[in-house]
């Protein structure tokens, strides 16, 4: 346990280091924070904090930097969150409501917004579902012998296929076909659609239903990750060295980031539950290549269709600003996904 003074000093060290990216000395704390104690007193307390593993010497410097343990204690016991302000919320919600309603557009825009708000890499994963269900299908005439099949899934995803038609069809006839198929297939997954195909007689109805089943089966296993803000992270002082910059670029590839977030999405032991937060700091990360990084992850969606909203950056992260914004964007995505699925 830390004394009240030690806790206050640790909090100041974290705040100063996050702001300046420079090791924090006792003199800097006294001067910048206008403390009414001597530098010797602060120096002694810093030595005790170092002995307990809350701060470290990065090199032969008079200053200290927070350790992973120091950041953890700060996040759990000392940090005062910087709330998302009313104007900030209005701006974000206005941006999201400008999107026409396609889930991919929402996910991509959410990653962009979050990265801009926190100045680090933002990652949003597509919600995984136990199975994709058809909300509705539309057929658009391309020629007398071909139509564009537009399939809308229950989570808002939209997929298109070009369908050759055995019988020439006008747009009015295609509308009738789509209406008939929606009545029979709407709300079903791939297995349900294939089970209904035995009741179909028309060759073009059967062909269309078969393609719809294939689309739904493909979407069940689809994995997409939206990543924004790599340049924001790489502009930070930690990457002034070219070798570290190149290493970071390799670590922050989309496929690696999704693998890091899998526990939060899949619901494995210790994973983030819906609506809650998970903060992984430095060496707490099982991936040895990511132990200079921290992740703030929130799970969004519903029990049968969920994804992750996350920020990834150096351990020198503004946690007090990042955590509430990840939580806020995750709550918005949960509501958007719920609304989309209710419309089916």
Question: How many percent of the chain have pLDDT more than 90?
Answer: 49
3-state secondary structure of 274: strand
Q: What is the mean pLDDT of residues 204-216?
A: 91
Tokens representing residue 326 in the block:
């990840």
Query: Is 240 in contact with 247 (CB distance < 8 Å)?
Result: no
pLDDT at 270 (0 to 100): 38
Q: What is the mean pLDDT of residues 177-201?
A: 91
All CATH 1.10.10.10 domain ranges of the chain, comma separated, are 4-78
Tokens representing residue 26 in the block:
């006792």
All CATH 3.30.450.40 domain ranges of the chain, comma separated, are 86-126+223-342
pLDDT at 268 (0 to 100): 38
For domain 86-126+223-342, the CATH superfamily is: GAF domain (3.30.450.40)
Q: Collect all residues with Cβ–Cβ distance below 8 Å to 309 and sequence separation of at least 6.
A: 110, 114, 122, 123, 124, 297, 298, 299, 300, 326, 329, 330, 333
User: How many Cβ atoms sit within 10 Å of the Cβ of residue 321?
Assistant: 19
Q: Is the per-residue pLDDT at 132 higher than 80?
A: no
Q: Is the per-residue pLDDT at 288 higher than 90?
A: no
pLDDT band at 223 (very low <50, low <70, confident <90, very high): low
Tens digits of residue pLDDT in 29-65:
999 888 889 999 999 999 999 999 999 988 766 789 9
pLDDT at 262 (0 to 100): 66
3-state secondary structure of 289: helix
Q: Is the per-residue pLDDT at 309 higher than 60?
A: yes
Report d(CA 340, CA 329) in Å as an integer: 16
pLDDT at 344 (0 to 100): 53
Q: Is the per-residue pLDDT at 274 higher than 60?
A: no
The region of weakest confidence among 20-34, 105-119, 191-205, 287-301 is: 287-301
Report d(CA 252, CA 312) in Å as an integer: 9
pLDDT at 3 (0 to 100): 95
Q: What is the mean pLDDT of residues 87-103?
A: 85
Is 134-221 a domain of CATH 3.50.50.60? no
pLDDT at 337 (0 to 100): 80
User: What is the CATH topology of the domain spanning 4-78?
Assistant: Arc Repressor Mutant, subunit A (1.10.10)
Q: How many angstroms separate the Cα of 119 from the Cα of each of 4, 94, 230, 321, 332?
A: 32, 20, 9, 10, 20
pLDDT band at 205 (very low <50, low <70, confident <90, very high): very high
Report d(CA 130, CA 175) in Å as an integer: 30
Name the residue among 141, 163, 104 with its Cα closest to residue 333. 104
Q: What is the mean pLDDT of residues 326-335?
A: 92
| DSSP-derived secondary structure for 16-65 | HHHHH-SPBPHHHHHHHHT-SS-HHHHHHHHHHHHHTTSEE-SSS-S-BE
pLDDT at 67 (0 to 100): 96
Q: What are phi and psi of 303, to 5 degrees?
A: -60, -30
Which one has a higher pLDDT value, 159 or 81?
A: 81
Query: Is 297 in contact with 303 (CB distance < 8 Å)?
Result: no
Q: What is the mean pLDDT of residues 223-249?
A: 81
Q: What is the mean pLDDT of the chain?
A: 85
Which one has a higher pLDDT value, 58 or 224?
A: 58
Query: Is 216 in contact with 193 (CB distance < 8 Å)?
Result: yes
All CATH 3.30.390.60 domain ranges of the chain, comma separated, are 134-221
pLDDT at 59 (0 to 100): 75
Give CB contacts under 8 A, 24+ apart, made by 28-31: 28/63
Radius of gyration of the chain (CA): 26
pLDDT band at 338 (very low <50, low <70, confident <90, very high): confident
The region of weakest confidence among 1-5, 195-199, 222-226 is: 222-226
What stretches of the chain show up as alpha helix (H) in DSSP? 4-20, 26-33, 39-51, 68-73, 86-97, 103-118, 171-185, 190-196, 203-221, 230-234, 242-251, 254-266, 319-342
Report d(CA 327, CA 300) in Å as an integer: 9
pLDDT band at 269 (very low <50, low <70, confident <90, very high): very low
Q: Is the per-residue pLDDT at 80 higher than 80?
A: yes
Which one has a higher pLDDT value, 82 or 157?
A: 82
Give pTM, 2 decimals. Answer: 0.74
Q: What are phi and psi of 62, to 5 degrees?
A: -75, -15
Q: Is the per-residue pLDDT at 222 higher than 70?
A: no
Report d(CA 8, CA 209) in Å as an integer: 65
């Amino acid at each position: 346990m830390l004394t009240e003074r030690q806790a206050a000093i640790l909090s100041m060290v974290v705040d100063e280091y996050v702001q300046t990216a420079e090791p924090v000395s006792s003199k800097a704390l006294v001067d910048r924070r206008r403390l009414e104690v001597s530098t010797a007193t602060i120096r002694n307390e810093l030595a005790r904090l170092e002995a307990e593993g809350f701060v470290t010497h990065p090199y032969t410097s008079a200053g200290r930097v927070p350790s992973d343990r120091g950041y953890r204690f700060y996040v759990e016991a000392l940090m005062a969150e910087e709330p998302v302000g009313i104007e900030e919320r209005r701006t974000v919600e206005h941006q999201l409501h400008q999107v026409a309603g396609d889930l991919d557009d929402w996910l991509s825009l959410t990653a962009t917004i979050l990265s801009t708000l926190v100045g680090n890499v933002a990652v949003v994963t597509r919600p995984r579902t136990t199975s994709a269900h058809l909300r509705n299908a539309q057929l658009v005439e391309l020629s007398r012998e071909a139509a564009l099949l537009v399939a809308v899934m229950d989570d808002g995803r939209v997929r298109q296929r070009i369908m050759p038609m055995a019988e020439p069809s006008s747009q009015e006839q295609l509308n009738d076909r789509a209406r008939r198929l929606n009545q029979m297939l709407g709300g079903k997954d791939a297995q349900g659609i294939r089970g209904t195909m035995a009741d179909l007689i028309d060759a073009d109805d059967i062909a269309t239903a078969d393609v719809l089943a294939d689309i739904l089966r493909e979407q069940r296993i689809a994995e997409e990750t939206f990543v924004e803000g790599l340049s924001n992270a790489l502009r930070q002082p930690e990457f002034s060295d070219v070798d570290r910059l190149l290493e970071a670029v390799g670590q922050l590839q989309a496929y690696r980031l999704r693998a890091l977030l899998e526990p939060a999405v899949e619901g494995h032991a210790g994973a983030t539950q819906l609506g809650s937060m998970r903060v992984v700091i430095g060496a707490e990360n099982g991936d040895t290549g990511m132990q200079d990084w921290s992740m703030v992850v929130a799970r969004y969606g519903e029990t049968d269709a969920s994804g992750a909203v996350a920020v990834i950056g150096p351990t020198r992260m503004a946690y007090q600003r990042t955590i509430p914004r990840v939580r806020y964007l995750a709550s918005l995505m949960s509501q958007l996904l719920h609304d989309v699925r209710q419309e089916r």
